[in-house]
Amino acid sequence: MKSLIFILTLCIIAVFSQAATPLITLSQSHSQPEANESFKVNQAKSQNTASSCTYTVTIKTSCNSPSYTRDQISLAFGDAYGYQVYVPRLDDPRSGTFERCSTDTFQIHGPCTYQTCYLYLYRSGYDGWIPEQVTVYSYGYNPVTFYYNTYIPNGIWYGFDYCRGYLPSTAAEK
Ligand SMILES: *[C@@H]1O[C@H](CO)[C@@H](O)[C@H](O)[C@H]1NC(C)=O
């Protein structure tokens, strides 16, 4: 186990030292999503900021997911500077959202952010749901893909925070 961690660390260092575009590399490293009990939706900031940017978010539901889900699913993502986009409800079982093996595309309006470096999903309900991957496209920045491939636990923000490993100096200027 220790040697595995050591090898992984070496790989990560090797990848980082060669990376011209750190975020793409990070998204390809396929790290595991984590529960974040201290994650808070930044509602005040989201409301005070005009919804002046549009994002396209694609969510592919795994072929191992339940055939459909009636769970309530929320999304939050943002940058390293505290700008956050929060969507309280993405689910809509009547239109077949998040069915097994399907890809759903959402046009989301929210505050403008710099490069997306974290993303969390929140699920509440009894059906369960396994997203395969979530990709955020925002104008002027590299699209970022977050790989889940695992059940989202009930009632907790669950996802990825790459912001600490992110180098702001490489961000494209808005
Ligand atoms: C959880 O989210 C907060 C932001 O609300 C962040 O500062 C913290 O680093 C996150 N924790 C983990 C383990 O990613």
pLDDT, tens only, 63-85: 999 999 999 999 999 999 999 99
Residue 102 identity (one-letter amino acid): S
Answer yes or no: is pLDDT of 9 > 50: yes
Quote the pLDDT of residue 170.
44
Does the Cβ of 34 fall within 6 Å of ligand 1?
A: yes
- The per-residue pLDDT of the chain, averaged, comes to 82
8 Å CB contact between 111 and 85: yes
5-19, 22-36, 88-102, 154-168: the lowest-pLDDT one: 5-19
- C-alpha of residue 150 to centroid of ligand 1, in Å: 20
Closest CA to 69 of 104, 39, 99, 109: 99
Q: Cα(142)–Cα(23) distance, rounded to whole angstroms?
A: 8
- C-alpha of residue 38 to centroid of ligand 1, in Å: 6
- C-alpha of residue 78 to centroid of ligand 1, in Å: 12
22-31, 78-87, 160-169: the lowest-pLDDT one: 22-31
Quote the pLDDT of residue 25.
44
Longest dimension (CA), the chain: 49
Does the Cβ of 40 fall within 6 Å of ligand 1?
A: yes
Domain ranges of the chain: 2-167
Give the position, in ligand 1's atom list, of the atom nearest the Cα of 160: 14
> Token pair for residue 84?
């956050």
> Token pair for residue 5?
């961690």
Bridge partner residues of 106 (DSSP): 57
Q: pTM for the full model?
A: 0.77
Q: Cα(81)–Cα(64) distance, rounded to whole angstroms?
A: 36
Quote the pLDDT of residue 117.
95
Mutate-to-test residue for ligand 1 from 39, 84, 119, highest number of ligand atoms within 8 A of CB: 39
Does the Cβ of 39 fall within 6 Å of ligand 1?
A: yes
Q: Which CATH superfamily is domain 2-167 in?
A: PLAT/LH2 domain (2.60.60.20)
- C-alpha of residue 68 to centroid of ligand 1, in Å: 30
Q: Cα(59)–Cα(168) distance, rounded to whole angstroms?
A: 26
8 Å CB contact between 118 and 162: yes
Q: Can you point out the beta strands (E) in 93-154? A: 103-110, 118-124, 131-138, 144-147
pLDDT tens sequence across 113-132: 999 999 999 999 999 999 99
- C-alpha of residue 164 to centroid of ligand 1, in Å: 10
